[in-house]
């Protein structure tokens, strides 16, 4: 397919290194990954030829197997997401939430946007806890069981139940990704791209650094699920 007609998600799924190209142009490749490159460029007033050249330059460099996520098997990819991205969220989310509340309490009078950032991030922390639990206890195990049965050819009646779990949860999980994506983008906007004001203390600085890190990890996490794992799951 011609590059301009592919969706952003398809391009990044083929080669994750292209994500840097889209990030450089302010293009959402995870939650907004279902839009064609041509349409995205037209909407944002970005020169299509320039982006295609940048994508080609990235792809000309040999890709490492460790970054070829679309070639990974479903079960391995699911485990990778849990061990890398879910672990990151569990280790960092509530500490970031505590820090956003702390700097809002100290600096909120001079920087009222911090109050809204803290409120939004508190909701993100609560919502993600339930989201990760459902993925780990219901969705991912169902994917792995169906995938194993498909490989071995030993299809059981239980597979029908697992397929229903996958079908019923796909739309819900994607919607939740869109909600958290919108929330973290709003935080970025309120924080002015995480630019620090002149009166920022060390905790303020660390909090903005962690919010940026959280957003970067979330983009990759959601991309791996929406644009690769979920598409593979739908084919099961």
Are the C-beta atoms of 69 and 231 separated by less than 8 Å?
Answer: no
Cα of 152 vs its chain's centroid, Å: 32
What is the rounded distance in angstroms from the CA atom of residue 228 to the CA atom of residue 68? 11
Sketch the domain layout of the chain as residue ranges.
3-67, 72-235
CA atoms within 13 A on the CB side of 52: 14
Structure tokens at 208: 């903005």
* pLDDT at res. 208: 97
114: pLDDT strictly greater than 70: yes
Average pLDDT on 151-161 reads: 73
Per-residue tokens: 145: 């069981």
Query: Nearest 5°: phi and psi at 127?
Result: -65, -40
Residue 175 pLDDT more than 80?
yes
User: What pLDDT shows up at residue 148?
Assistant: 86
| Fold topology of 3-67 | SP0561-like (1.10.3910)
Please give the average per-residue pLDDT across 112-134, as a whole number.
Answer: 97
Taking 80 as the threshold, does the pLDDT of residue 144 lie above it? yes
- pTM as predicted: 0.82
Distance CA 176, CA 120 (A): 14
Please report, rounded to a whole number, the percentage of residues in the chain having pLDDT higher than 70.
Answer: 94
Q: Quick: pLDDT tens for 75-92.
A: 999 999 999 999 999 999
pLDDT digits (tens, 9 = 90+) for 1-56: 677 788 888 888 888 888 888 888 888 887 766 788 888 889 888 888 889 898 88
């Amino acid at each position: 397919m011609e590059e301009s007609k592919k969706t952003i998600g398809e391009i990044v799924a083929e080669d994750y290194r292209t994500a840097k190209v889209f990030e450089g142009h302010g293009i959402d490749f995870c939650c907004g990954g279902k839009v064609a490159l041509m349409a995205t460029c037209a909407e944002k007033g970005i020169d299509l030829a320039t982006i295609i050249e940048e994508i080609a330059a990235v792809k000309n460099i040999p890709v490492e197997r460790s970054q070829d996520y679309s070639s990974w098997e479903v079960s391995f990819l699911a485990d990778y997401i849990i061990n890398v991205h879910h672990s990151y969220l569990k280790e960092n989310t509530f500490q970031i939430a505590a820090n956003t509340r702390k700097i809002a309490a100290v600096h909120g009078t001079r920087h009222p946007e911090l109050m809204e950032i803290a409120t939004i991030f508190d909701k993100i922390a609560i919502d993600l806890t339930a989201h990760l639990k459902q993925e780990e206890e219901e969705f991912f195990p169902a994917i792995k069981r169906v995938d194993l049965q498909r490989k071995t050819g030993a299809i059981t009646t239980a597979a029908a139940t697992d397929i229903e779990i996958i079908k019923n949860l796909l739309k819900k999980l994607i919607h939740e990704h869109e909600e958290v994506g919108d929330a973290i983008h709003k935080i970025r906007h309120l924080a002015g791209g995480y630019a620090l004001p002149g009166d920022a203390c060390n905790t303020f600085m660390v909090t903005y650094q962690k919010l940026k890190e959280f957003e970067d990890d979330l983009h990759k996490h959601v991309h791996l699920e929406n644009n690769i794992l979920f598409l593979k799951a739908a084919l099961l």
